[in-house]
Amino acid sequence: IKLNHGKLLDGMLEICGVPPEKFRTICSSIDKLDKQSFDQIRKEMVEEKGLTAEVADRIGNFVKERGPPLELLAKLQDKGSKFLENEGSVHALDDLEILFNALEKSKSINRVVFDLSLARGFDYYTGVIYGAVFKGATR
What does the CA dihedral 119, 124, 129, 130 come to, rounded to 10 degrees? -100
Using CA atoms, how far residue 115 sits from 4, 11, 50, 52, in Å, is 6, 15, 25, 24
pLDDT tens digits, one per residue of 67-90: 999 999 999 999 999 999 999 999
pLDDT tens digits, one per residue of 90-126: 999 999 999 999 999 999 999 999 999 998 766 666 7
Nearest-CA neighbor of 81 among 91, 89, 92? 89
Confirm whether pTM is higher than 0.85.
yes
Domains for the chain: give ranges and CATH numbers: 2-131 (3.30.930.10)
Angle at 21 between CA 123 and CA 30, to 5 degrees: 65
